[in-house]
A and B are shown apart, each in its own frame.
Chain A
Amino acid sequence: MSALLQVEGLTKHFPVRRGILRRIVGHVQAVTDVSFAVAAGETLAIVGESGCGKSTTGRALLRLIEPSAGSIRMEGTELTTLSPARMRQMRRQMQIIFQDPYGSLNPRMTVREVLSEPLLLHGVATPATLQAKVAEVLGLCGLSSFHAERYPHEFSGGQRQRVGIARALATRPKLIVCDEPVSALDVSVQAQIVNLLQDLQRQLGVAYVFISHDLAVVRHIATRVAVMYLGRIVEEAPAAELFAAPLHPYTRSLIAAAPRPDPAAGRAKASVEGDAPSALAPPPGCAFHPRCPVAVERCRSERPELRGIGPTRVACHLAEPATDRALPRPLDADTPLARRLAVLAAARARKQEGTAA
Chain B
Amino acid sequence: MSHKSENISKVKNTGEAKTKKANNGLTAWEIVKISRHSGRPVFQDYLKLIFENFIPLHGDRYFADDPAIVGGFAELEGNKIMLVGHYKGKNTEENIERNFGMAKPEGYRKALRLMRLAERFNIPIVTIIDTPGAFPGMEAEERGQAESIAKNITEMAKIEVPIISVVIGEGGSGGALGIGVGDKILMLSRAIYSVISPEGCASILWRDASYAPDAAKALNLTADALLKLDVIDEIIEEPAEGAHTGVHKTAENVKNSIIKNLNLLGNLDVEELLKNRSSKYSNMGKYNDINKG
Partners in one complex: no
Binding site for A on B (CB under 8 A): none
